[in-house]
Amino acid sequence: MNITLATALVAGLPLTAAAVAFAHPRVGRMAALGTGLLLLPVLAVLVLEALRTGPWRHNLGGWTAPLGIGWQVDALALTLLALTTLVALAAAVYRVAEGRLTRDSRYRRYFWPLWLFLWGGLNALFLSADLFNLYVILEMVSLAAVALIAAAGGPALAAAWRYFLATLLGSTLYLLGVALLYGQYGALDVSLLSGRAEEELVTLAAAVMITLGLLLKGAIFPLHFWLPPAHGRAHAAVSAVLSAVVVTAAFYLLLRLWFGPFAGMLPGLPAQLLGLLGAAAVLWGGVLALLQRHLKMVIAYSTVSQLGFALLVFPLAAADALPDQAHAGMLMLLLAHGLAKGSLFLAAGCLAWQWGSDHLRRIGPPMAGGSLPAWIAIALAAASLVGLPPSGGFVAKWWLLESALAARAWPWAAVIVLGTFITAGYLWRILRDPLRATSVDSAVVPAQGPPLPIPLAMPWAALLLALAAIASGLFATALRSAFAAGGLAG
């Protein structure tokens, strides 16, 4: 397949499918599933090309950088594209199967167009190298995400509202920074700016604005206020994509900029500050996950906590001892966390359907009424999040810890180690009550009748994602060399 065509299809296919699904609501499901299935071979072509030739740049319409808009394809972009495709496909399968359980609502016909719109926006975001183009895409992703959250109705409306204000504020601050950068350097392309940017007051101001905007969008502590309600109250399929990919997208931009145009300003205090925010997020989100009573809220706070680990890449990569290992670990963390988190949300959705609530005391035992696959998915995804070998989460923490130890950065090493305990604590709470329920003296569990039967595709979608999270660790060596071939550090 032509590489140019393949690159264009990655973003074009979902957007076209979105238009089709909007015009013909009946084919919405097929459009979503078909998009996912078609994107897999397209991505495979791109990955093979990257393995063969290394990272490359693609100028849209043949126009080069100062005037035209560029796309860049490298290990970071391809990994996140693959993550998006896997999670969105699994969540679409889940949602299609779930569709048989619900009655028609007024807004249902808009679900698939919005879904595909979000998907296309995310794909474009991971490809684009133009800061203003990225602003438009960010807004696109935000609008679709807000609408999808609001589609759950009820309390999700208020959550969607808060998310909307936060993300719009984030975009505006980002645009402000972009405007300052353009005023100073007359360029919008990331790689052009990387060559031109210097440590000047305007660049500093731009960096502050852009970073703050993206911290807001990425729900980094202490600006995480919008995430738990939004992710906890949306439909399970929506939560899966939001938690696995959408917040990661904001983080992705932080990486692109701080290891691109702002790289000269990173070492020293700024890197330490970002790392400190990460450490605080690990602790704060983890403890709050411990305090939640609803399964989906635990998972949502876990996202706040896990993204904190990824932020450690800034001090570790800036420390210059094993920067490649820090980058690889962070990338692995994003991948493994995305897969595991998607799986957890889908499995939580299954259990909530079966038992009528996702309250930790209400969801029933694994052996009752076909909820076993969902529980296996939760167990496997939890194993990856905690970092049990040979899962992807383990490999991610292993590489990050290697980098921290090599830099003799004991505080960051301690954060990785302590974060493991907190993660184990809140995931243990999820698994504890159902384990107790299977016991002989099952006095703890309130009787609530048999669980509802659900289509098998729902838990299996979760299970496949969890297995992918484990597999990403099993084949870590292959991934590591692929990361290296695809130009690891931005």
Partner 1 sequence: MTLYLLLAVALLIIGLHGLFVCAQLMRKILALNVLTTAVFLLLVVLAQAAEVLDPVPHAMVLTGIVVTVSTTAVALGLMVRLLERRGGPVSGRDRDSRNS
Partner 2 sequence: MNATQLALLLAVLAPWLALTALALPALRRRATLLLPLAALPALLLALAGPDPDAGIVLPGLLDQTRLALDGTARAFLLPGALLWLLAGAYAHRHLLAHALRFAVFWLLTLAGYLLLVLAADLLTFYAGFALMTFAAYGLVTHTGSATALSAGRLYLGLMLIGEVALFTAVAWTTMLAGPGHSPDLAGLGADMEPAAALLFAIGFGLKLGAPGLHAWLPRAHAVAPVPASAVLSGVMIKVGALGGWRLLEGGLEVPGHGALILTALGLTGTFYAVAAGLRQPEPKTILAWSSVSQMGLMVALLGMAAAGTSAGAPPAAVWAGLAVMLAHHGLAKGALFLGTGLLATTADRFTRRTLLMGLALAGAALAAAPLSGGALTKAALTSGIPGWLAGLTGTATALLMLHFLQRAASRPTEPMTGQNGDTGGTRGMSLWWLTLTPGLLLPWWLADTSLRESALTASAIGDGLWPLVLAGVLAGGAWWLRSRWPGVGVAPARQSHPTRGAPRPLPGMARLAHWWALTERQLHRWPVIGRTATTMILLLALALVFSATT
Chain residues binding partner 1 by CB under 8 A are 132, 135-136, 139, 142-143, 146-147, 150, 154, 157-158, 160-162, 164-165, 168-169, 172, 175-176, 179-180, 182-183, 186, 188
> What is the closest distance, in whole angstroms, from the C-beta atom of residue 37 to partner 2 in the complex?
26
- Interatomic CA distance for residues 82 and 44, integer angstroms: 9
Long-range CB pairs of 31-38, under 8 A, 24+ apart, other chains included: 31/112, 31/116, 32/92, 32/95, 32/96, 32/112, 32/115, 32/116, 32/119, 33/89, 33/92, 33/93, 33/96, 35/116, 35/119, 36/85, 36/88, 36/89, 36/92, 37/89, 38/9, 38/13
SS3 359: strand
Q: How far is the CB of 214 from partner 1 (least distance, A)?
A: 16
SS3 readout for 317-330: HHHCCCHHHHHHHH
Q: Which residues contact 488 (CB under 8 A, 6 or more apart)?
A: 75, 76, 324, 327, 328, 331
Which CB atom, from 65 or from 216, has the smaller least distance to partner 2?
216
DSSP string, 364-412: --TTSTT-HHHHHHHHHHHHHHHT-TTSHHHHHHHHHHHHHHHTT-HHH
Contact status: 101 vs partner 2 (CB under 8 A): no
Q: Which residue has the tokens 């499995």?
A: 347
**Residue number with CB closer to partner 1 (186 or 411):** 186
Tokens 């353009």 belong to 182
Q: Which is nearer to partner 1, 56 or 161 (CB)?
A: 161
Residue 438 as a binder of partner 2 (CB under 8 A): the answer is yes
Min. distance of Cβ 204 from partner 1 in angstroms? 16
Residue 287's binding partner out of partner 2, partner 1, none, with CB under 5 to 8 Å set by partner kind: partner 2
Which of partner 1, partner 2, none has residue 205 at its interface (CB below 5 to 8 Å by kind)? partner 2
Identified binder of partner 2 from the candidate list 217, 294, 327, 480, rule CB under 8 A? 480
- Asked if 420 interacts with partner 2 (CB under 8 A), we say yes
Q: Is 388 in the site for partner 2 (CB under 8 A)?
A: yes
CA–CA gap between residue 152 and residue 230 (Å, rounded): 10
Helices 295-311 and 392-406 sit at what angle, rounded to 10 degrees? 30
Nearer to partner 2 (CB atom), residue 60 or residue 474: 474
CA-nearest of 36, 88, 94, 87 to 458 is 94
- Give whole-number Cα distances, 301 to 77, 235, 282, 449, in Å: 26, 16, 10, 30
Q: How far apart are CA 225 and CA 295, in angstroms?
A: 18
Give Cβ neighbours of residue 409 (< 8 Å, ≥ 6 apart).
Answer: 315, 316, 319, 321
Query: What are the structure tokens assigned to 368, written together?
Result: 């009752």
User: Which member of 121, 218, 270, 455 binds partner 2 (CB under 8 A)?
Assistant: 270
Q: Which of 4, 102, 105, 442 binds partner 2 (CB under 8 A)?
A: 442
Q: Does 174 bind partner 2 (CB under 8 A)?
A: no
Asked if 317 interacts with partner 2 (CB under 8 A), we say: no
Is 186 or 268 the residue whose CB approaches partner 1 more closely? 186
Taking CB under 8 A as the rule, does residue 446 contact partner 2? Answer: no
Determine the Cα–Cα distance for residues 147 and 166; give it in Å rounded to an integer.
14
Q: Does 320 bind partner 2 (CB under 8 A)?
A: no
Q: From the list partner 2, partner 1, none, which binds 482 (C-beta under 5 to 8 Å, kind-based)?
A: none
How far the first Cα of the chain sits from its last, in Å, is: 26
Q: Given the DSSP bridges, would you call strands 56-59 and 70-73 parallel, antiparallel or unpaired?
A: antiparallel
* C-alpha dist (Å) from residue 386 to 216, 417, 447: 26, 10, 31
Which C-beta is closer to partner 2: that of 270 or that of 451? 270
Interacting partner of 48 out of partner 1, partner 2, none (Cβ under 5 to 8 A depending on kind): none
* The one among 83, 125, 223, 377 contacting partner 2 by CB under 8 A: 223
Per CB under 8 A, which of residues 134..163 are in contact with partner 2?
A: none
Q: Is 265 in the site for partner 2 (CB under 8 A)?
A: yes
Nearer to partner 2, 107 or 421 (CB): 421
Task: Please tell me whether residue 429 binds partner 2 under the rule CB under 8 A.
Answer: no
* Residue 448 is a binding residue for partner 2 (CB under 8 A): no
User: Which of the listed partners (partner 2, partner 1, none) does 168 bind, with a CB threshold of 5 to 8 Å by partner kind?
Assistant: partner 1
Give the number of other CB atoms < 10 A from CB of residue 164: 19
403 binds, among partner 1, partner 2, none (CB under 5 to 8 A by kind): partner 2
Binding positions for partner 2, 275-294, rule CB under 8 A: 284, 287-288, 291
Residues in contact with partner 2 by CB under 8 A are 199, 204-205, 207-208, 211-212, 215-216, 222-225, 265, 267-270, 272-273, 284, 287-288, 291, 322, 325, 328, 367, 383, 387-390, 394, 397-399, 401-403, 405-406, 413, 417, 420-421, 424, 428, 435-436, 438-442, 473-478, 480
